[in-house]
A and B are shown apart, each in its own frame.
Chain A
Amino acid sequence: MRRVRNRPLEAVTLILLATTLTACVAFAPLYARAMQGEATVQQLDRAPSLATSLVLTSTTTYDESDFTSAGPTSAPLRVDELMDVVPDRVRGYYGTPVAGQTANATVEHGAPNSTGTVISQPDQCRLVTITDGACPTAPGEILVSDTDRKIYGIRIGDRIRVTGERFQKVQPDGSSRAITTGVRLSVVGSYDAADWSERDDRWAGNRLGGWSGTTDPGPPPKRFHDAWIADENTFSENRTALLPAQASYVGLALRKSLVGPDEVALLAREIDRLRAELLTRTGSDISVESSISAIADDLEAQAETARVTVPLLMAQLALLALVVLWLALRAAAEERRPEVALVRLRGGGRRGARRFVVRELLPLVLAGVPPGGVLAILGCSLSRWWLMDGDLGVPELDLRLLLAVGLAALLLSAAVMVVAHRFGREPVAQLFRRVPLRRPLWRVGVLAAVSVAAATSALIAIILGDATGSVALGVPVLLSVVVGILLAHLTGPVSALFGRRVLRRGRLVGAIALLDAARSGTAARTVAMVTVAAAAAAFSTNAYAVAERNWSAAAAHRAGAAVVVSAEGGTVAQLRAVATDADAGGDHATPVARIKSPGTDAPQVLAVDPESFARVALHPGGEPSPDVWTALGVGDAEPLRVTGRRARIRVIADGLEARQPDGHRTPVDLSLHVQDESGAWETRVAQGLPGDTTVRAAFAMSCEDGCTVTGIRLRTVPGSSIRGQLSLDRFSVDGNAIRLDPRGGWRPVDTPEVTVTSTADDGTVGFDIRTSGASITDLSTTWLPTTVPVVATEARAEVTQDVIDTAPGLDGLSVPTEVAGTVAHVPASNDRTLLANLEALERIAPGRPDAAMEIWLDSPSLVTTVEQSLSDHGLVITDVRRQSALDRELRGTTAAWSLRLALVVGVLGLLLAAMVLIVVAAAGWRAGTRDLAALRLSGVSARGVRRMAVAAQLPAVLVGVAAGTVTGVVAARIALPIVPFFATDPEVSLLDLSTAWWAVVPAAVVALFVLAGTGALIGVNLSHRSGVDRVREAV
């Protein structure tokens, strides 16, 4: 206590510095762990519950090697048997299991002609809302959905015969024959399936509703019905006929509150092991459904980043703290110079001197260790709350904290030992000097030389790519160490040179300031430390600003628009109607169809309405030129619109004949291509047209709600050739005359097999036809595009040399395309995606598209309207993607938290640099004030001395801040390309790493303000202490 009482300020400073250093060292593992924990929490929160849950499904097995056999080879496991498969080690992390059975329910003959599932689960009638009838209680009793009742006309009391399991029946002759049984199900009630139109873990991931009326493409094509809820005995084996494809399932929802990073890893390991084990298991077919392994992999990747980044950042801060502590320890040891001299004087020897210094300083620095540990815990808790939006609770404490605190204690002890050792080596006679001798200005110490060499080597390793990833965050400190040390060694000679010049010009204040900077080592230390701190501040501010820019750009790109509502189950016309309902002007909502082809590298098409898409979509990679949207236009060709049921037309054949190669005549049939919102079809107009004949044809159109005639088709026998003229006129539907010469007219055909020219006049259209072996000749109006203009990304265009002649259409079939322009990137899509006009593609393939349908909105305020409208139009919402959520998601990764930590490190670095200034000044205050006192003695006024004292502090700070800022910016150029901004690299890179000057300049100004302000205060303080009596102090 005496040493604290004797030098209280020094003791407090040393304890505080030791606390800071310990906190820095101990904070790293705590924060890294907290990041892992928070990443786990956020990842689990973001993941759908089905992704985190564990679903085991045991299905009926069939002998797939024998196609002739029929019937199952084994039944699914019972629910209790399936439960036993779940490893005991993971059971505790999951909630109460949900178990039940499903089977296929297909009606092949009779009503309702549909397919779907039948499901049973205990307490099922408490889960669903029964709207009519009663809960099934006997085998074969089912509940159907209200929608099924509406669509398929099912009534309560109906008996539905579904296809049962196939069995082998042994014939009297010993052979066997497969027979298919039927199972009768009785409808005893109905339930509301609207609440169950998404997969739900209360049904172990089964989706009950949203199926009814949607189509199973087959073959054979069939419509789906919603899940039918059956009594559990419906699945019993002792029934005479079994439902096919029976399965039992067990669903276990993850208890997220019990799961941390280690538990996720454990679950992933156990589930992977279970999967592998079940693959080799015979006698039952059990599938394991859980995405926990993918989550664990992602978390492990993030943890890897955290394990490198945080120690690296904190090492920089710890290094700064260590340097400050080192300076403070040296100053403290210097303060004890007379005492050490006495130890040597009384024969203590070097060992005695060392022991004395250690005994004086070690207890003080070790006293800072426990509070440092506590500070690290508090800091971690605060950082988790502030930087990660986590809670304020105590972070997870484990052995790593103890090890880190031990390491800090070791570092502190080592620092004290080194200081004591240096002091012990000093000759006795030197110890009697109150102020140690100064080394020559140009002399470079071993420590400085080693530091520069090590830092340079590390830098070269990073620049050459031997060190990558988060290690790049070490660039600024390494570069600034090199620059700082070099500058520190230049400071003395350069200041002396300038000082003498300024002195010759008679400017006393400036000259004294510069000469003092040259003479004392304080300026060199200040320059070095300020350079390092300013570099860290400039780098971290720049890195964070660049990261913010890139996160925003990535979120905007991934989202595509402020909000994107995805849906399924409707037509493009319905989708367009929803967009119009939400925003008739197309300023805030736009319909988009995303067409995907199979295969990972296959091109995608984003079918858009160019005009509204240009207004609503976000283009963070660069706004496309308006020409791009014009190029996507469909032209001004007029559709040939008809409305009605009965059509009439006059067909005039003039020398029209079709002949086979052997000269035989063949008939020519004429039909019209017609389409409406639901699809396209062909309507036959006339048969057997050859020769010179005039036919007045009457035919059905089925166009009560309006159709578009897109073309005519001439069909003959394959291999035949057609020649002659054909005219069509007097076309009317339900008595309304229709002109056959719409604006744009008819498209001529000129291929090796078919040549057709057309003339149109006053509602009449004539064709001159010459075909060669083509059995079908299609003639279309120009309203129906033959080639769709597409806009490719610059990357795609470069790869394909602007030749992209096909792309998938709305029906999944290829359509001819041509590149009409390029954009930097297609919003919410990869760089293989093409932009096309939705209407153009719809004209080619009307009806329900084989594509994901989306409504893009420029504001969240329209989401409710759009959701309601989608529901009204019979579309099922599958997802709502928000730019703000993606923004948050990108900022909620360890990569982002690391960069935020860098910002904090930058700020703390500045504060530590300010402490360096104070410690350096305190260490040299005796000599400094004596010099100033000498000036007072020689007649310089108190004001003049104050100005000199302040001015003496500023050059080093100015040089340090300027050099540090430049170093930080240069370091950013080197490091940012290898700093991970994202947990996983985005598919489309919009990285913009240009310097964020708007952030760097204020950071430099703040650094200058803080450090120059501190320097000025120190100068004022020194001048106050520089009374003339200081001169009398012995040296």
Chain B
Amino acid sequence: MTRRADRVAVRTRGLVHIYRREGNDVAALSGVDLDVLPGEFIGLLGPSGAGKSTLLNLLAGFFRPSAGRIFVDDVELSNATEAELDGLRRGVVSLMLQGAARNLMPFLNPLENVRFAQSAARSDGVVMPEPTEILASVRLEDVATRPLGDLSPARLQRLAIAVAISNGPGLLLADEPTSQLDHVSRDGVLQTLSDINRVTGTTIILVTHDPEVADFLPRTVTIRDGRIGGEGRSGEEYAVVTADGSLVLPEHARLDLPPGTLVKFHLDDGRYVLLVEEHEESGGRP
């Protein structure tokens, strides 16, 4: 039987991750609540150090959260054993590291790289998709046996994708898959991921800096200061109310509403209107 993981949902609740290094504690994530539906293709946006990669590593089970819970396909990663995590990585969750080369064995050709990536799952007796099939799905069948050094950056990135999906994962986590690519290559990679999402139903969470990439994605989640800073859906930007009822203002609104500003929520004809209380010195604004 060829394994193909079911569509996978992701859910995090109050996710906190603190890096402890030589007496300095740094909170990378401080209460992230995120829901990703099965078969969704979303992008994680945010500035450097916002916690995007940390979140991705937590979802891949590489880090244990300092607090909070992570559910991947009903498996709670925060409590999962190392073996359970390995099991997940063999067929459910796949992480694509930033930089294509880091995902590939430099001395193996594309076909062998795919076969190598499948070897762990194969050792369980599971029948994997044929490597040539996988390569064909990312349009690399013609370079299947070429040395990696001969491949262009775009092809290497597509090969990295092929390797990542070689086990037929239900969840694909991709860290900056389009960085260091030109526009054409970038679009090609995005199209490949989109095709995978569409054809296999694989849930894809992609980390990116690139606003143009974000525009391509049906849903984006912006991480800011270790929290969900907003969501974009079909080009619209939304602030997200978290489980504790807090709300992170969009970047542009922060300039107008400095810390200490008093706001009032007013229900007007079925819509909430945000009223800013006039300050005695600076004066309030509606």
Q: How near does chain A come to B127, taking the closest CB pair, in angstroms?
A: 16
Q: How near does chain B come to A995, taking the closest CB pair, in angstroms?
A: 47
- Known contacts A339-B105, A342-B117, A343-B120: A348-B63 contact under CB 8 Å: no
Q: Is the CB of B102 within 8 A of A349?
A: no
Q: Is the CB of B89 within 8 A of A346?
A: yes
- Known contacts A338-B102, A429-B57, A429-B63: A345-B89 contact under CB 8 Å: yes
Q: Which residues of the partner chain B approach A1034 to less than 8 Å between Cβ atoms?
A: 99
Task: For chain B, give the interface size range.
Answer: 20 to 34
- Known contacts A338-B102, A352-B120: A346-B82 contact under CB 8 Å: no
Q: Is the CB of A342 within 8 A of B103?
A: yes
Q: Which residues of the partner chain B approach A346 to less than 8 Å between Cβ atoms?
A: 89-90, 94, 116-121, 163, 166-167
Q: Does residue B97 face the partner (Cβ distance < 8 Å to A)?
A: yes
Q: Does residue A171 face the partner (Cβ distance < 8 Å to B)?
A: no
Q: How near does chain A come to B144, taking the closest CB pair, in angstroms?
A: 17
- Known contacts A346-B89, A347-B87, A350-B82: A432-B120 contact under CB 8 Å: no
* Assembled-state Cα–Cα distance A348/B89 (Å): 8
Q: Is the CB of A349 within 8 A of B83?
A: yes
Q: Does residue B265 face the partner (Cβ distance < 8 Å to A)?
A: no
* Assembled-state Cα–Cα distance A348/B60 (Å): 14
Q: Which residues of the partner chain A approach B107 to less than 8 Å between Cβ atoms?
A: 2-3, 5-6
Q: Is the CB of A429 within 8 A of B62?
A: yes
* Assembled-state Cα–Cα distance A368/B121 (Å): 33
Q: How near does chain B come to A461, taking the closest CB pair, in angstroms?
A: 42
Q: Which residues of the partner chain A approach B162 to less than 8 Å between Cβ atoms?
A: none
Q: Mark B196-219, 1 if CB is under 8 A from A, else 0.
A: 000000000000000000000000
Q: How near does chain A come to B162, taking the closest CB pair, in angstroms?
A: 13
Q: Does residue B73 face the partner (Cβ distance < 8 Å to A)?
A: no
* Assembled-state Cα–Cα distance A738/B62 (Å): 123
Q: Is the CB of A347 within 8 A of B97?
A: no
Q: Is the CB of B90 within 8 A of A347?
A: yes
- Kindly identify, within residues 98 to 129 of chain B, every residue whose CB is under 8 Å from any CB belonging to chain A: 99, 102-107, 116-121, 123
* Assembled-state Cα–Cα distance A126/B215 (Å): 119
- Kindly identify, within residues 25 to 56 of chain B, every residue whose CB is under 8 Å from any CB belonging to chain A: none
Q: Which residues of the partner chain A approach B90 to less than 8 Å between Cβ atoms?
A: 346-348
Name the residue on B nearest A434 (C-beta).
B102
Q: Does residue B86 face the partner (Cβ distance < 8 Å to A)?
A: yes
Q: Which residues of the partner chain B approach A5 to less than 8 Å between Cβ atoms?
A: 107
Contact of B86 among A338, A347, A429 (CB under 8 A): A347
Q: Is the CB of A428 within 8 A of B87?
A: no
Q: How near does chain B come to A350, taking the closest CB pair, in angstroms?
A: 7
Q: How near does chain A come to B99, taking the closest CB pair, in angstroms?
A: 7
Q: Is the CB of B120 within 8 A of A347?
A: yes
Q: Is the CB of B89 within 8 A of A344?
A: yes
Name the residue on A nearest B108 (C-beta).
A2
Contact of A349 among B86, B99, B167 (CB under 8 A): B86
Q: How near does chain B come to A258, taking the closest CB pair, in angstroms?
A: 58
Q: Is the CB of B88 within 8 A of A347?
A: yes
Name the residue on B nearest A2 (C-beta).
B107
Q: Is the CB of A432 within 8 A of B87?
A: no
Q: Which residues of the partner chain A approach B229 to less than 8 Å between Cβ atoms?
A: none
Q: How near does chain A come to B150, taking the closest CB pair, in angstroms?
A: 16
Q: Which residues of the partner chain B approach A432 to less than 8 Å between Cβ atoms?
A: 62, 97, 102
Main secondary structure of the interface of A (DSSP, over half): helix
Q: Which residues of the partner chain A approach B65 to less than 8 Å between Cβ atoms?
A: none
Q: Which residues of the partner chain A approach B95 to less than 8 Å between Cβ atoms?
A: 345
* Assembled-state Cα–Cα distance A5/B99 (Å): 25
Q: How near does chain B come to A334, taking the closest CB pair, in angstroms?
A: 15
* Assembled-state Cα–Cα distance A350/B27 (Å): 28
Q: Is the CB of B89 within 8 A of A342?
A: no
Q: Does residue B170 face the partner (Cβ distance < 8 Å to A)?
A: no
* Assembled-state Cα–Cα distance A352/B89 (Å): 12
Q: Does residue B168 face the partner (Cβ distance < 8 Å to A)?
A: no
Q: How near does chain B come to A708, taking the closest CB pair, in angstroms?
A: 103
Name the residue on A nearest B106 (C-beta).
A6
Q: Which residues of the partner chain A approach B104 to less than 8 Å between Cβ atoms?
A: 342
Q: How near does chain B come to A827, taking the closest CB pair, in angstroms?
A: 73
Q: How near does chain A come to B87, taking the closest CB pair, in angstroms?
A: 7
Q: Which residues of the partner chain A approach B103 to less than 8 Å between Cβ atoms?
A: 342, 345
* Assembled-state Cα–Cα distance A377/B91 (Å): 52
Q: Which residues of the partner chain A approach B102 to less than 8 Å between Cβ atoms?
A: 338, 341, 432
Q: Which residues of the partner chain A approach B63 to less than 8 Å between Cβ atoms?
A: 429
* Assembled-state Cα–Cα distance A346/B102 (Å): 13
Q: Is the CB of B105 within 8 A of A342?
A: yes
Q: How near does chain B come to A519, taking the closest CB pair, in angstroms?
A: 14
Q: Is the CB of A347 within 8 A of B99?
A: no
Name the residue on B nearest A347 (C-beta).
B90
Q: Which residues of the partner chain A approach B60 to less than 8 Å between Cβ atoms?
A: 345
* Assembled-state Cα–Cα distance A108/B62 (Å): 113
Name the residue on A nearest B57 (C-beta).
A429
- Kindly identify, within residues 11 to 37 of chain B, every residue whose CB is under 8 Å from any CB belonging to chain A: none
Q: Which residues of the partner chain B approach A352 to less than 8 Å between Cβ atoms?
A: 86, 120, 123
Contact of A347 among B105, B106, B121 (CB under 8 A): B121
Q: Which residues of the partner chain A approach B118 to less than 8 Å between Cβ atoms?
A: 346
* Assembled-state Cα–Cα distance A349/B83 (Å): 7
Q: Mark A1-28, 1 if CB is under 8 A from B, else 0.
A: 0110110000000000000000000000
Q: Which residues of the partner chain B approach A345 to less than 8 Å between Cβ atoms?
A: 60, 89, 94-95, 97, 103
Q: How near does chain A come to B28, taking the closest CB pair, in angstroms?
A: 12
Q: How near does chain A come to B206, taking the closest CB pair, in angstroms?
A: 17
Q: How near does chain B come to A871, taking the closest CB pair, in angstroms?
A: 84
- Kindly identify, within residues 638 to 672 of chain A, every residue whose CB is under 8 Å from any CB belonging to chain B: none
Q: Is the CB of A347 within 8 A of B62?
A: no
Contact of B120 among A3, A6, A348, A427 (CB under 8 A): A348
Q: Which residues of the partner chain B approach A6 to less than 8 Å between Cβ atoms?
A: 106-107
Q: How near does chain B come to A364, taking the closest CB pair, in angstroms?
A: 15
Q: Is the CB of A347 within 8 A of B83?
A: no
* Assembled-state Cα–Cα distance A429/B83 (Å): 16
Q: Mark A319-358, 1 if CB is under 8 A from B, else 0.
A: 0000000000000000000110111111111101000000
Name the residue on B nearest A427 (C-beta).
B62
Among A2, A347, A352, A432, the most chain B Cβ lie within 10 Å of the Cβ of A347
Q: Mark B63-99, 1 if CB is under 8 A from A, else 0.
A: 1000000000000000000110011111100110101
* Assembled-state Cα–Cα distance A432/B120 (Å): 19
Name the residue on A nearest B63 (C-beta).
A429
Name the residue on B nearest A352 (C-beta).
B120
Q: Mark A382-416, 1 if CB is under 8 A from B, else 0.
A: 00000000000000000000000000000000000
Q: How near does chain B come to A421, taking the closest CB pair, in angstroms?
A: 15
Q: How near does chain B come to A434, taking the closest CB pair, in angstroms?
A: 9
* Assembled-state Cα–Cα distance A345/B118 (Å): 11
Q: How near does chain A come to B241, taking the closest CB pair, in angstroms?
A: 32
* Assembled-state Cα–Cα distance A62/B209 (Å): 119
Q: Which residues of the partner chain B approach A343 to less than 8 Å between Cβ atoms?
A: 120
Q: How near does chain A come to B261, taking the closest CB pair, in angstroms?
A: 40
* Assembled-state Cα–Cα distance A956/B164 (Å): 45
Q: How near does chain A come to B23, taking the closest CB pair, in angstroms?
A: 11
Q: Which residues of the partner chain B approach A347 to less than 8 Å between Cβ atoms?
A: 86-91, 120-121, 167
Q: Mark B132-147, 1 if CB is under 8 A from A, else 0.
A: 0000000000000000
Q: Which residues of the partner chain A approach B62 to less than 8 Å between Cβ atoms?
A: 427-429, 432
Name the residue on A nearest B95 (C-beta).
A345
User: Could you list some 15 contacts between A and B, CB below 8 A?
Assistant: A2-B107, A3-B107, A6-B107, A338-B102, A342-B104, A342-B105, A343-B120, A345-B89, A345-B94, A346-B90, A346-B117, A346-B119, A347-B89, A349-B120, A432-B62
In the complex, besides A6-B106, A6-B107, A345-B94, 19 extra interface pairs with C-beta distance below 8 angstroms are A3-B107, A5-B107, A342-B104, A342-B116, A342-B117, A344-B86, A344-B89, A346-B89, A346-B90, A346-B121, A346-B163, A346-B166, A347-B86, A347-B121, A348-B86, A349-B82, A350-B82, A427-B62, A432-B62
Interface on A for B, CB 8 Å cutoff?
Answer: 2-3, 5-6, 338-339, 341-350, 352, 427-429, 432, 1034
The 10 A-B residue pairs whose C-beta atoms are closest, nearest first, are A347-B90, A347-B89, A349-B86, A6-B107, A348-B120, A347-B120, A429-B62, A428-B62, A346-B117, A347-B86
